[in-house]
């Protein structure tokens, strides 16, 4: 647990004056000051416990017989980086994610665990908080702000107003996560408005999601106390939000990469940078390994013309100013928590040393601190509540010989539209058609044990496989099964039941690739390296067998996502999102 500034002022004051000795002194630092935008050479930094007591040219008065002195050798020193918005409840446990983030100089994570809540509710949210505590990284959480996405169709669990109010009493819960169903705000949905006012009464932060909203609707949204957004994809959207007093998190992650469309225009316009941040919104293991994290945002922004000190400020200070935590974090100054990075140069931004609360956690590319193994409650690994499948569970029947099917046409991995296809039935059974790239797709409630399910048709997938299934989907977390034949769809489903979650690819009765996600059906309990290897095999297997898209894992992930156009499938049926009505699979 961090010390509070209130409880630390006597010891910090004493060290600053030389009346008490420091635990650690860093000398010969080229300090990257986020407060004055200058590089201050020959700086010395004195630390006691987990906070900085002195920053200046001569810390000799803070040295004692037990003080550890590290000569930084004129390398660059900056505050730790932060990711102000990401969904950490993906792929790996928080401890595994933390190891990779620390290597990238990210010492603070602001997590929106929306899918953990959608699967496991308030009880699971409390369990997930525990997994993020007592790690050598700072993990802050928010209460998910968008569940259910649409109460008419959603299957997700959520928090009641009283549970939300209770949750924000936790010291690491800062407020409300992205309120992505913005129509609930502009139409003043009673529960949503009560939730917003409760957060404001508790002096909490509220994160936003303003994709597709502008002018009077955006004004209504901002006036409801929601002051940030990570959704702008171009400079005009950024500028409109900044002009309305919002903070903008420029996204560079696995779902979207927006830096190159925004940074050059910010520079040419001369826009103030003090309300701009970088965020990932979530990283898959392949991208994490290939690109990095917030360090990647810094490198890319500098390539696009941003000054290194401005990039560092956006990666550190601005985040904590937004979250009202500036007195504790975001810079290197007396009183601040000692989250400090050391770099060889201002190009790679890969830290040679990382300190969190004055403790060395990374040295020369290796994590040098212990991660205590967390105990996961057994019930959190038993969330796929489905009975064994047979091929008959995937049948679509019709008495007609020829039928017109309503298809979910994949425009890309995420966006869909309504399609149409003529299919034949044999013995009253309508089959998929690989010749015409028409697939079956099914959604099963795997959380509540209701046996509720729906089956339809998917178009424009293209891979020569028998089935692709996943228990991880935004934010319904139904089990989604895509298939060309019913037998392989049953095999894929039963594999996920046995593993209690994951992704799996099946062809001709054989499992070609599998990524177990044992924890709530959305997170693996395996190492980052094993998860990365399994995930890579899932992707390459489907792509190599002819899939039309390079990121096929996104298809089952987004197919039930009711906040995007146009046709979605959930366990209750196939949904036309704009009309808010169900569609039959065949006419």
pLDDT in tens, 130-147: 999 999 999 999 999 989
218 in Cβ contact with 244 (< 8 Å): yes
Strand pairing class (467-470; 502-507): antiparallel
Cα-Cα-Cα-Cα dihedral sign, residues 416, 422, 428, 431: negative
Strand pairing class (24-33; 38-48): antiparallel
Question: What's the confidence (pLDDT) of residue 373?
Answer: 87
Over the chain, what is the mean pLDDT?
97
Residue indicated by tokens 């103030």: 272
Question: What's the confidence (pLDDT) of residue 172?
Answer: 96
* 194 has pLDDT over 70: yes
Name the burial class of residue 548, with classes exposed (0-12), middle (13-18) and buried (19+) by CB atoms within 10 angstroms of its CB. middle
DSSP, residue by residue, 498-560? HHTSEEEEEETTEEEEEEE--BTTTEESS-HHHHHHHHHHHHHHHHHTT-S-S-TTHHHHHTT
Give the DSSP H/E element, type plus range, for residue 127: helix 114-131
Average pLDDT for residues 60-79, to the nearest whole number? 98
Average pLDDT for residues 319-336, to the nearest whole number? 98
The residues near 169 (Cβ < 8 Å, ≥ 6 apart) are none
199 in Cβ contact with 219 (< 8 Å): no
**For the range 60-67, what are the long-range contacts, defined as Cβ-Cβ under 8 Å and sequence gap of 24 or more?**
61/17, 61/18, 62/15, 62/16, 62/18, 62/21, 62/22, 62/25, 63/21, 63/22, 63/25, 64/21, 64/22, 65/21, 66/21, 66/23, 67/21, 67/22, 67/23, 67/24, 67/25
* 1 has pLDDT over 80: no
Question: What's the confidence (pLDDT) of residue 8?
Answer: 98
Calpha distance 336→52 (Å, rounded) = 6
Provide the Cα torsion 471, 472, 473, 477; round to 10°.
Answer: 60
Helix axes 528-544, 94-103, angle to 10 degrees: 90
457 in Cβ contact with 423 (< 8 Å): yes
Residue indicated by tokens 């895509």: 482
Q: Which of 400-404, 425-429, 495-499 ranks highest by mean pLDDT?
A: 495-499
Name the burial class of residue 39, with classes exposed (0-12), middle (13-18) and buried (19+) by CB atoms within 10 angstroms of its CB. middle
435 in Cβ contact with 466 (< 8 Å): no
Of 401 and 251, the structure prediction assigns the larger pLDDT to 251
Question: What's the confidence (pLDDT) of residue 568?
Answer: 98
506-534 pLDDT, tens digit each = 999 999 999 999 999 999 999 999 999 99
Calpha distance 39→43 (Å, rounded) = 10
Average pLDDT for residues 223-230, to the nearest whole number? 98
Question: What's the confidence (pLDDT) of residue 563?
Answer: 87
Give the DSSP H/E element, type plus range, for residue 452: none
Q: What tokens does 494 get?
A: 């039963």
88-107 pLDDT, tens digit each = 999 999 999 999 999 999 99
* Positions of E strands within 295-430: 340-343, 353-356, 359-363, 366-367, 396-397, 402-410, 416-426, 429-430
The CA-to-CA distance between both ends of the chain, in Å, stands at 60
Q: What tokens does 357 get?
A: 């609360």
Question: What's the confidence (pLDDT) of residue 146?
Answer: 84
Question: What's the confidence (pLDDT) of residue 2?
Answer: 84
Name the burial class of residue 89, with classes exposed (0-12), middle (13-18) and buried (19+) by CB atoms within 10 angstroms of its CB. buried
271-300 pLDDT, tens digit each = 999 999 999 999 999 999 999 999 999 999
Question: What's the confidence (pLDDT) of residue 493?
Answer: 98
Average pLDDT for residues 401-410, to the nearest whole number? 96
Average pLDDT for residues 353-359, to the nearest whole number? 98
Q: What number of helices (H) and strands (E) belong to the chain?
A: 16, 32
Helix axes 114-131, 94-103, angle to 10 degrees: 80
540-579 pLDDT, tens digit each = 999 999 999 999 999 999 999 998 889 999 999 999 999 9
CA angle 25, 315, 301 (to 5 degrees): 125
- CA distance readout (Å), 545 to 88, 410, 467, 541: 30, 17, 12, 6
């Amino acid at each position: 647990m961090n010390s509070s500034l209130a409880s630390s002022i006597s010891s910090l004051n004493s060290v600053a004056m030389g009346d008490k000795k420091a635990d650690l002194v860093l000398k010969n630092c080229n300090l990257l000051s986020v407060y004055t935008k200058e590089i201050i050479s020959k700086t010395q930094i004195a630390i006691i416990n987990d906070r900085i007591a002195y920053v200046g040219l001569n810390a000799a008065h803070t040295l004692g017989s037990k003080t550890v002195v590290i000569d930084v050798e004129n390398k660059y020193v900056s505050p730790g980086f932060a990711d102000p918005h990401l969904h950490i409840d993906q792929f790996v446990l928080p401890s595994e994610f933390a190891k990779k983030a620390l290597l990238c100089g990210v010492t603070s994570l602001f997590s929106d665990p929306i899918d953990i809540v959608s699967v496991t509710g308030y009880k699971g949210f409390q369990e997930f908080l525990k997994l993020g505590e007592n790690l050598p990284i700072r993990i802050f959480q928010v209460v998910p702000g968008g569940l259910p996405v649409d109460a008419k169709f959603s299957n997700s669990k959520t928090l009641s107003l009283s549970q939300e109010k209770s949750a924000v009493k936790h010291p690491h819960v800062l407020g409300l996560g992205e309120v992505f169903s913005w129509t609930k705000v502009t139409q003043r949905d009673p529960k949503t408005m009560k939730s917003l006012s409760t957060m404001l009464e508790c002096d909490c932060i509220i994160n936003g999601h303003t994709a597709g909203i502008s002018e009077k609707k955006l004004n209504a949204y901002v006036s409801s106390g929601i002051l940030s957004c990570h959704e702008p994809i171009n400079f005009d959207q950024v500028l409109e939000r900044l002009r309305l007093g919002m903070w903008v998190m420029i996204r560079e992650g696995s779902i979207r990469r927006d830096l190159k469309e925004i940074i050059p225009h910010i520079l040419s316009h001369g826009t103030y940078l003090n309300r701009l941040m970088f965020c990932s919104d979530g990283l898959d293991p392949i991208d994490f390994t290939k690109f990095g994290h917030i360090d990647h945002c810094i490198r890319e922004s500098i390539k696009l013309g941003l000054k290194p000190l401005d990039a560092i400020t956006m990666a550190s200070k601005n985040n904590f100013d937004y979250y009202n935590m500036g007195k504790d974090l975001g810079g290197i100054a007396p009183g601040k928590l000692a989250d400090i990075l050391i770099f060889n140069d201002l190009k790679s931004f890969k830290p040679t040393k990382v300190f969190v609360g004055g403790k060395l956690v990374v040295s020369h590319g290796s994590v040098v601190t212990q991660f205590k193994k967390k105990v996961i409650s057994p019930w959190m690994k038993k969330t796929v509540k489905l009975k064994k499948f047979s091929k008959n569970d995937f049948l679509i029947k019709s008495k007609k010989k020829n039928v017109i099917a309503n298809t979910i046409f994949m425009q890309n991995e995420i966006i869909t539209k309504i399609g149409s296809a003529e299919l034949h039935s044999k013995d009253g059974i309508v089959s998929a058609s690989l010749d015409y790239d028409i697939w079956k797709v099914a959604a099963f409630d795997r959380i509540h044990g209701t046996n509720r399910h729906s089956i339809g048709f998917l178009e424009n997938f293209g891979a020569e496989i028998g089935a692709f299934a996943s228990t991880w989907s935004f934010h319904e977390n139904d089990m989604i099964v895509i298939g060309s034949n019913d037998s392989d769809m049953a095999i894929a489903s039963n594999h996920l039941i046995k593993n209690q979650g994951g992704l799996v690819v099946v062809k001709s009765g054989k499992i070609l690739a599998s990524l177990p996600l044992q924890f709530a059906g959305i997170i693996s309990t395996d190492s980052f390296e094993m998860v990365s290897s399994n995930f890579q095999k899932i992707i390459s297997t489907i792509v190599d067998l002819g899939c039309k898209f390079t990121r096929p894992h996104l298809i089952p992930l987004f197919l039930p996502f009711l906040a995007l156009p146009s046709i979605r499938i959930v366990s209750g049926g196939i949904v036309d999102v704009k009309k808010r009505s169900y569609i039959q699979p065949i006419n």
